[in-house]
Amino acid sequence: MPRVLSGIQPSGQLTLGNYIGAIQNFVKLQETHECFFMVVDLHAITVPQEPAALREQTESVAALFIAAGIDPAKASVFAQSHVSAHAELGWLFTTLAYMGELERMTQFKDKSTGKDSVGAGLFVYPTLMAADILMYNADLVPVGDDQKQHLELTRDLAQRFNQRYGDMFTIPEPYIPKVGARIMSLDDGTKKMSKSNPNPASYIALLDPPDVIRKKISRATTDSGREVKFNPAEKPEVSNLMSIYSHCAGLTLDEIEARYEGQGYGAFKKELAEHVVAKLEPLQQRYAEIRSSGEIHAILKQGAERVSVIADKTLRDAKERMGFLLPRS
């Protein structure tokens, strides 16, 4: 089976955008691919994290993976920091990367703009991301448009290693679903829905209570018109709400347009909210069960043990090719 790897940072609350754009696809991919899904806590600390919050969010993200339908018997679910080979291979790839390559990363530019000082981790984390992907020789990597540049660097580093030390790493391809890969903010249809947005009204968190979801959708930005019509260029906010509706209700965009023809935004928003609530309630119930049972710790331990067999071998092979003196067993 072809391999797929992806990860989500445990910083902030996971959103409906994470669910539609990433996690729903994870659930589908586990049926046809060998999947590695991780909580990338080492990436989270590229910006300061409160220790108790980092622990809580790491457990929460992992539990949401399972609550959303990822089956730990089919896919490996683990915390990045539980597999120490990630950090070590990340360092090896840092030595292969060039300053100019890292300086060109748009995410680094965006996150460092206007700051007096920037942590070195924020600058070099694309090489850790490369190690994450190449560790398991993943064939496909689910990425949003904002991560395609990092995947290109990963491909460059894999080719550079292979040229210097002999073919070892698979050159990964991006997996970008045609629909739903990018859910936008509720207050600005030109910006991606983000859990790091300081305005909670801009996103729907997966654990938002039903009344909060209804309030956020009722207040979501639209435009001065009345037409429920999909036109991202001229009606970005309404088009975004229609995309959410499509994924939560299982209707096509054409069906949604026909249903609300001549009705305006009021009825559309009200029924959209109910579809979102209905979609998330079973997930929230399963999440509560997982957290109260404590089973997530056993799942993460099992996942880390399973992938460590692959990760440790990859790291050892890479070090041997690079000329390290390896300990003898």
* Cα 50 from Cα 261, distance rounded (Å): 48
- Name which of 41, 190, 222 is nearest 125 in CA terms: 41
DSSP, collapsed to helix, strand or coil, labels residue 59 as helix
Q: Which two tokens stand for residue 41?
A: 């806590």
Residue 200 CB neighbours (<10 A):
14
Say if CB 326 and CB 319 are below 8 A apart: yes
pTM, to two decimals: 0.90
Which residues are within 8 A (CB) of 144 and not within 5 positions of it... i.e. 6 or more apart? 21, 22, 176, 181, 182, 192
Say if CB 45 and CB 53 are below 8 A apart: no
**Per-residue model confidence (pLDDT) at position 178:** 60
Residue 106 CB neighbours (<10 A):
10
Query: What single string gives the DSSP state of each residue in 159-203?
Result: HHHHHHH-S-S---EEE--SSSS-PBPSS-TTSB--TT-S-GGGS
Which residues are within 8 A (CB) of 231 and not within 5 positions of it... i.e. 6 or more apart? 238, 239
* Cα 242 from Cα 268, distance rounded (Å): 9
Q: Looking up tokens 């940072």, which residue turns up?
A: 9
Q: Looking up tokens 């000082």, which residue turns up?
A: 117
Say if CB 140 and CB 175 are below 8 A apart: yes
Phi, psi (deg, nearest 5) at residue 79: -90, 135
Which residues are within 8 A (CB) of 80 and not within 5 positions of it... i.e. 6 or more apart? 7, 38, 39, 40, 41, 42, 43, 86, 132
Q: Catalytic positions, please?
A: 111, 192, 195
**Per-residue model confidence (pLDDT) at position 110:** 75
DSSP, collapsed to helix, strand or coil, labels residue 87 as helix
**Per-residue model confidence (pLDDT) at position 224:** 87
**Per-position pLDDT tens, the chain of length 329:** 899 999 999 988 899 999 998 898 899 999 999 999 999 999 999 988 999 999 999 999 999 999 999 999 999 999 999 999 999 999 999 999 999 999 888 877 777 777 778 889 989 999 999 999 999 999 988 876 667 888 999 999 999 999 999 999 999 998 876 655 579 999 998 898 988 888 999 999 999 999 999 999 999 999 888 899 999 999 999 999 999 999 999 999 999 999 999 898 999 999 999 999 999 999 999 999 999 999 999 999 999 999 999 999 999 999 999 999 999 87
* Cα 60 from Cα 13, distance rounded (Å): 9
